Structure formats: C-alpha cells, structure tokens
Amino acid sequence: MEISKLNIDESAKINAQSWLDGAYDEATKQAIRDMAENNPNELNESFYRHLEFGTGGLRGIMGVGTNRMNKYTVAMATQGLANYVKKVNKSSSQQDFELRAAVSHDSRNHSREFAEITASVLAANGYKVYLFDGMRPTPELSFAVRHFKCHTGVMVTASHNPKEYNGYKAYWSDGCQLTAPHDEAVIEEVLKIKSVADVKMTGGEKNITIIGEDVDKVYLQRVEQNSLNPELIKKHHDVKIVYTPLHGTGITLIPRMLKQLGFTNVNIVEAQAIPDGNFPTTPSPNPEEKAAMSMAVDLAKKIDADIVFASDPDADRVGVAVKRPDGEWMLLNGNQTMSVLFYYIVKQWQEKKMLTGNEFMVKTIVTSELPAEIATRAGIKIYDVLTGFKFIGSKILELEGIETFIAGGEESYGYMIGDFVRDKDAVAACSMIAEIAAWARENGKTFFDVLVDIYKEYGFYKEGLVSVVRKGKSGAEEIQQMMRDYRSNPPAEIDGEKVICLKDYQVLESKDLVSGKVTKINLPKSNVLQFFTDKGNKITVRPSGTEPKIKFYFSVKGELCCKDCFDKTNTALDGKIESIKKSMNLV
C-alpha cells in the first residue's frame, strides 16, 4: 500500500514517507509498511506530528513514528539538547574546557536502550558522558549532574505513566530540570533537527564513562546526613516498615538506605520488588492511587506494621499509608505527607537550636497552606512557586549563598530535603518518613497521631480537586472565557465567605480586597487565579497546559479539638468542599 494513497493526514503521509526514504533501519521501515497495510489509523497517530519536546523534555507512547518514543526521536531530541548546551557554553575561555553530561534511566521497557542512545549522541558531540551502569532513581541523576559538575543531564523515564509510555527529563547544570530561558531555547533547537541525518550517532564511544557504586555511596552518605535523630533510630531500629518500589528503581537504593540508617525491620512487597516495565501487579504504578498501594497495605495488615510507603518507577515521588486507631489503614495525600515532614523537620531544628533566622522552605502555589503555617510560626521563611518541582530548584539556586534551604514539596507527592538534590527525592523522603515513625514510637504515638497533633495545633486543612473538561476549539475558547470572567468580575463571596485576597499570576499581582493594597508577585507569569476567604479557605483556578480542561483546587480549614473528632471533622470539611463546588456551579 502506497503511503500517498492512504486516507490519513497529509502531515502523516509526509513524515512516514520521509522515514521510508531516510536512513532508518529496515525493521522500522517494515513496521511502517505493516501499519500502512493493516492499520492506517495507527500510522496516522504515529506520524501526524512530531513528538513534542516540552519544557520538561519528552513523554509519549513507545513505538515507531515521529509522534512516538523510539530510538530516533530520542536521538533527535538529544542532538537538539547537545546543540543548545554547546551554544550556551562555547564562550568559555578555558583551553581544557570540556562539556559534561550525566545520563540515567528507570525500569521501563526500552529505558536502557534510550539511555545508551542518549549517551552515544552526547558523546559523539564531544561531551564527556557519565552513564549509570543500570537503572537509578531520578534524584541520583540530579545529584550526579552536580557531583560531576555537568552542564546537562538526562533521565529516561515516564514517571508514573502507564506501561505504554516512556519519557526523557532534561536537566541543567544546577541539577534542576530546565527552567527559563533554557527550557524554551532547547525546544527551539530540538525543532531544528528534522531527521536522523542531522544527528551525530557514533564516534564518541571513548567519551563515555560508566558510573555506579562510586556515586551511590556518595549520594547515600549525603542522604544519611539528613537524619536528625540517628540515636533514636538505633533505639527503635525494629519499627515495622512496609515498602514497595512498584517494580521501579527505588529497589536499588531505598532498602539499602534504610539499612544504612539502622532500620532492621523493613518488609518489602516481594511481588513488586522485581524491576519490570510492564508493571504486572498494578494497573498503574502511581503511588497516589489506592490500587497501587493495595499489596503494601495488605502486607502491613498481615504483620501489623507501623508505616507503609511506596515509590513510583523513577523513585522521585512517595505515597504513604498510616494505621488509624480503629486498625484500618488510611492513604495520606501529598499535602498531608508534606505537612508531617515539614512539622517534624521544623520541630527538630527548633529543639536542636539549629535555626538562625535565615532559613527557608518552599512549596507550590496549589499546595495546602498548612506547611506554610508550620514554617511561618517557627520563624522560617516560606516561598510559593509555580506548579512544578523545577521551580523549587530554581528558588534554591536564586537564594544560594544568601539563605539556607531546609525542605520543599508539592501536593503531587514530591518532597525534597536539603539542597544536594534539585528534584523530588523519594530516597530522602522515605528515609525521613521512617525516622518520623521511630520518633512517633519514642513518644508513644503513631504516624497518624502525629498528623492529628498537627491538625490540633495548626488547624485541620483538607483539599479537593475538580477538573472541568471542555473539548475541541469551542471548549478551549470556553475555558479562556471562564478565566476572563473570573478576572473581570471576581467573586465577592464564595459559599457565603468573604473573598479577602485575589492573586493573579497572569499579571503577577496580589490584591488585598479589604484595604485595596496591591503587591507584586515575584514569579514567572502563569494563567492562574487564587481566591482567599476570610475563613482561611483557598480556591485556585488554572487551565491545564496539556489537556482540554480547567482545574479547580480547593483547600478548606476547620478546627480539630481531639483525635476522636477526626472523622467527624474530616466529613464536615468534605461537605464544605462540596458546598463550595455548588456555589461555583461546578456540580
């Protein structure tokens, strides 16, 4: 079947034919012919566009085609990245100057292949490449970039996406994912690579250095230094921990780190301990989801564990489950885990008189205000940044040498402790969560009790999310009109509560609606609005950048008088969120 005669998009015909005519391997060309003959719709999906290199890198379904993750799209993206990094650094006057890059990957299908191709392209372009000898967590790649003073780094991963996906996170020299102006500039360079003929694929093999245990040791030593109570861990070394890596990279370092810290009762979900890109025991390797955590919770019930945690495939995010007083297990959301982490770290820094008044913590604007309340009451500065962990890393870089970073996090299960890594770090987070479990036992409490203590002291914060889908061109226009309406006519009240503050991240202004005072917001522009009420509630509105939807984040606050009132208060706050949704015509 001739490509030109197929009833598919013209762009798909052009792209597919260019691969048939180009320097692509025979297996790839045969796959294109097979699709043309047997599945034109799949051919159309695979070639109608080029897989977008976004501000964080690549992510897509694996397969043959310009719109798929494969060795050629990975190679072309890497060539664009290599060109940009070289362009930025070419002004160096050092005669012995060499460009350096670090490369790692997760447990997904084809991840090793894609990592080796990435390393080969960078090496062929003259880079000294540090390639891990096998899969490693994303935070270790971030660490390696800074450890080897690299100019860039690449982590091959699709995070917690389904098994059909793979991806590619690009890092800058600070160990942080690309931020402005580099993110957009790299995209421009990638778009200039039109075919595999534009890619240097071979000839730099001597430039690749395989790394592994040497970096593991240094990284784990640095994570160990985060510990605030090593003696307490020794005392309660047998705290019962259940951990699952969800078939991912966490198995390489998290059990080892827990052992290094002194924990002796770590129970691993063996069925999920084997690295497997097909993720056979869970419909989705996402620790946010109940199904992904179910095997770990079942094991916890069986052995009467103290704490459960799971890392996603690239081990940058953590899901946590805790035992309630009635013996049932409860999954914590990202805001709750982050609040407990902040609370423990802040309390320990206070008790050990480590605070000097020059420390800071960071959260994203859609995260609960509870972590901010914990930091502020302790006299620690708290900075809000846009959604995305790269903005936390960017804030650390901005204040490096000026203020001392303690910890950061976001509602989507990502946490960072210390600044030696500039991305979400499940290895460090799991280590600290285990330490908190030991600390709770020392004080005759459970992890759940610690959460209750926080709610009693600072208020019971509860979060919710609604995504309103509006498809097609008309849907996109409707979403934009909704944002314009909220800006031109912001609500004076929401569910009977007075709106006292409006933050508009498009114009970067925060307006006190009581006094009329306007202050500037020192962040990059983003199409986000936030409304704060006189009862301490927060509503955030932002269109999705990747899907035809507009998202509404709700954070409400109540009072918790005692542990026995937890369920009643929790239910009341759920009702409050539902009431706000109705008042905003979202149900």
Structure tokens, 229: 């109570």
Alpha-carbon Rg for the chain, nearest whole angstrom, is 25
Q: Evaluate whether 32 touches 156 at the Cβ level (below 8 Å).
A: no
Which residues, 6 or more positions from 579, have their beta carbon under 8 angstroms from its beta carbon?
A: 495
CB 137 within 8 A of CB 250: yes
Residue 159 among the catalytic residues: yes
Cα 43–Cα 46–Cα 47 angle in degrees, nearest 5: 85
| 177-181-184-188 Cα dihedral, nearest 10 degrees | -120
CA distance to 78, 130, 364, 375, 496, per residue, from 121 (Å): 7, 13, 35, 45, 59
CB 293 within 8 A of CB 319: yes
Identify the CA nearest to 166 among candidates 285, 311, 32.
285
Active-site choice (104, 111, 159, 394): 159
165 C-beta neighbours (distance < 10 Å), count: 18
DSSP tag of 50:
P
Kindly report each contact of residues 63-70 with a partner whose C-beta sits within 8 Å and lies 24 or more positions away, as own/partner. 64/19, 64/28, 64/31, 64/32, 64/35, 65/15, 65/16, 65/19, 65/32, 66/15, 66/19, 69/110, 69/114, 69/158, 69/165, 69/166, 69/167, 69/168, 70/28
Burial class (CB in 10 A: 0-12, 13-18, 19+), 106: buried
Active-site residue list: 159
